[in-house]
Structure 1
Amino acid sequence: MDVRIDEVADLIYRISTFVPDVGPIGFTFNQYLLVDQQSLLFHTGPRAMFPAIVDAINSVTPVQHLRWITFGHVESDECGSMNEFLAIAPESKVAHGAMGCMVSIDDLADRRPVPLANGDVIELGAHRVRHLDTPHVPHGWEARVLYEETTGTLLCGDLFTQLGDGPALATHDIVEAALVAEDVFGATCLTPSTGPTLRALADLAPTTLAVMHGTCFTGDAGSALTSLADAYDARLASSLA
């Protein structure tokens, strides 16, 4: 597998694997490694990618030093290798929202996870990671994002999913590309809560969007979130008309 590593914010690394036979033009699967006194991984990748992702992590910091295993919601590409990471990093813990722990992770994880309330912060050292519940945004009852406060990085999971194999980080608009991917996959839950949830994230005024599938964005990420909210609201209104 062709695995690439890029630093998209201060000591926040995007680990990206391009899979050419997913979707019409291929698809990236990204994990994020926050290197700190207590290093954190956001997304584990599926089990088939585990050896390659471990090699990528080890090129930056020993994988055994991981302390936190995190992800946006329960899907194989987000948490498929959860237990493999718990085994290889013996002091690590899974942390997720209380809802996700209750409905799935308490049973699935080999070590009992740490349930987080909305707004709880994990102190990594130089980084502060805030857990934010986003039920059904983009999908999944237990969906959540993480906001790294010191760098203004929103670890936004499947939000802004894009097709293809673009650069690691861009300053150009990624909303249109996200809407193209939405037309292909139809992965986002369009509900009356979708737009308000995205606008609440925009109010954080993030400066980097760490995207799970596609290119990350740096710049006025709040405006990008607002634009995505507007587009989804328009699609919801059209479907109800």
Structure 2
Amino acid sequence: METRIHEIADKIYRLSTLIPGPDGSGGFTFNQFLIDADEPLLFHTGMRSLFAPVSIAAAKVIDLNRLRWITYSHAEADECGALNEWLAAAPQATAMQGRFGCAIWLNDQAPRPPRSLADNEVLDLGGKRVRHLSTPHVPHAVDASLLYEETTGTLFCSDLFTQLGDSPALTDSDIMGPAIAAEKAYGFTSLTPRTGPTIRRLAALAPRTVAVMHGASFAGQTVPVLEALAGYYETQLREAMAA
């Protein structure tokens, strides 16, 4: 497997690995995002099986000894499965997550004490500023959180807008259609009364780029697309409750 590198915003790199489907076609992309700043940050670690190709790709962007922060959305193999491998390869790095995520998983799993982040807490990386957003059950678990890089307007949205198959690194074309198709196929997003309002909170940020974990990142009209996604899940919830 080869991990491809694309700069999707100023000094923000998508590290993408395509895992083919069982018949060698289609497949699924697993994307990590590296922010190159005075204190570089990695969002998503990937699974342990992806550590070798992804870390080789990351080392082409920065010296891994410079990596300072490692974070992710929620406890899941593709989000943080290779966490300890990354911490071993980057001795200056510290893992971080929201307070709840630290309490239920990261405090126990990280070999070095992690940093706990409050909702809306901003971390100055030196040249980049990231805002931690607590988003319980969006996309999945109660510990879920997302990250917003303020200087480039890049929203790291984890599994939201998941798309099947291979994809370009960045697009301004339709991502709602492919995202709805993936949702219908797998039903991976939690439907709660907070799902729609949480996504509308993301839309209020008016990001310039939406960095997607599975599929192409999006650099078109992000606010209408996020509002549409919120509306889609609100409709799904109403239909599920009526049934």
The TM tier, using the shorter chain, reads over 0.9
Aligned twin of 2:217: 216
- Equivalent positions of 1:144-155 (< 5 A) are 144-155=145-156
Aligned twin of 1:105: 106
After superposition, the C-alpha distances for 1:167-197 in whole angstroms (9 at most, x for unaligned) are: 0000012111111000111100011110000
SS at match of 1:59: helix
Give 5+ residue unaligned stretches, structure 1: none
SS at match of 1:212: coil
RMSD: 1.2
Distance 2:6 2:14 in 1: 5
- Equivalent positions of 1:63-78 (< 5 A) are 63-78=64-79
Aligned twin of 1:182: 183
After superposition, the C-alpha distances for 1:135-181 in whole angstroms (9 at most, x for unaligned) are: 00110110000000000000111111110001000001211111100
For 1:16, the aligned partner's letter is S
For 1:13, the aligned partner's letter is Y
For 1:106, the aligned partner's letter is N
Distance 2:161 2:81 in 1: 21
Distance 1:113 1:61 in 2: 22
Distance 2:165 2:2 in 1: 14
Q: CA deviation at 1:64?
A: 1.6
For 2:132, the aligned partner's letter is H
For 1:19, the aligned partner's letter is I
Aligned twin of 2:227: 226
**Does residue 138 of structure 1 match 2:139?**
yes
**TM-score, length-normalised on structure 1?**
0.98
| Structure 2 CA distance for partners of 1:65 and 1:22, relative to 1, 3 Å | farther
Aligned twin of 2:85: 84
Distance 2:94 2:221 in 1: 33
For 1:66, the aligned partner's letter is L
Percent identity, please.
52
Distance 1:4 1:98 in 2: 33
SS at match of 1:96: strand
Q: CA deviation at 1:25?
A: 2.7
Distance 2:235 2:78 in 1: 29
Aligned twin of 1:5: 5
Q: Give the total of aligned pairs.
A: 241
Distance 1:232 1:22 in 2: 30
